[in-house]
A and B are shown apart, each in its own frame.
Chain A
């Protein structure tokens, strides 16, 4: 994780180093209409990896003697299935693939964090790419892309299951009954809007903070030769701890998606009881 670019005296300062690392490689004129090429590249790369695995595994899997990768995937699929079975009422053909995709894709994007912070950006600089953020989930665009997709599904299923009037009733009479309609509308609106925001920000915050700490640890080694020892020690400890964080965040995102969609699938009568 050490890098010559991280040295305090000869290269950029610590602040510059971190700012450099937090800069997306983007095109566009600023504001909303910007494309973060690095985020798109890595998330597409990982999506491609997932598609490749899914396609080959779907073609070659056998019911008789599963081995290797198939066992791993079966374990993941079974785990996701179990979560859905525990939480989700009834059945929905979309919920399974959705939860599985969120879990695996978010996990893989998070796992980019495990690569040394300077490895890919340095390689990129060798071929003339100045800025590169390798962890797509440290980009708010990615986390909110997922959160907003889930939010759209929440609204869709709310309307589909409860009906437009039932959904409206949920805003009017929930949680305090019919005599507190203005309060109810505000409360329920906040509750609903908090769902995608908390989903998106939680993932982003965890991954961003984790990445930042990796950068700070990387700076230790750059300061002096003696800094290498704490850098290796902290870097190892944080990386091991981070294995837990990336898995947990992927799991939480998946679980909350299932929970929110399960809530959307419940009728008003069920909620009142």
Chain B
């Protein structure tokens, strides 16, 4: 029950223990906890930044959307205008085409009529020649009188 040489042993033990715990527990653990504190702080900051960035992105998206809508409306208006134009053009084209067709048809009709007239004339010549031949009872030389008849027929 008094202070003995045990004291010296205990002091040495204590010194060794302090050194050991300082080296193997205190230093790595405080270091680790500091690192962790820093990492958590960084993580929180990053999260904050992420939220901020997301807000920005959302705003940008809204802007883009608005722009896109405007563009779409523009394009639509343009398309409608163009459509109307095309329709107008088509109408004009159709009218022109119609007119052209009518003209062509008329021309053709005229041609047909002319052709009919020609053939009629030819037939009339033939018939007249035959009739005249029968009347004259004399063979008319188709070659000599043909030209004369053609003149006559041309006057019909």
Contacts and interface: CB of A to CB of B under 8 A. Distances in A.
Interface of A: 22, 24, 26, 28, 32-36, 39-40, 43-44, 47, 50-51, 53-55, 57-58, 61, 63, 73-74, 77-78, 81, 93-94, 96-98, 100-101, 104-105, 136, 139-142, 144-146, 148-149
B7 A47 contact: no
A35 to B, nearest CB: 6
A149 B15 contact: yes
Given A34-B4, A97-B25, A101-B14, 16 more contacts: A33-B4, A43-B13, A50-B17, A54-B24, A58-B24, A61-B32, A73-B29, A81-B30, A93-B22, A97-B23, A100-B21, A100-B26, A104-B21, A140-B2, A145-B7, A145-B14
Contact of A77 (B7, B15, B30): B30
Nearest to A150: B14
B135 interface: no
27 contacts: A28-B4, A28-B5, A32-B4, A34-B6, A36-B6, A39-B6, A40-B6, A40-B10, A43-B13, A47-B13, A50-B21, A61-B29, A61-B32, A63-B32, A63-B35, A63-B39, A77-B29, A78-B33, A94-B18, A97-B19, A97-B21, A141-B3, A141-B4, A142-B6, A145-B8, A146-B10, A148-B11
Nearest to A105: B17
Given A33-B4, A34-B4, A61 B28 contact: yes
B6 to A, nearest CB: 4
Contacts, number: 128
A44 B13 CA distance: 7
B33 A141 contact: no
A149 B14 contact: yes
A33 B27 CA distance: 37
Given A35-B5, A36-B4, A51-B20, A146 B26 contact: no
Contacts of A32: 3-5
B13 to A, nearest CB: 6
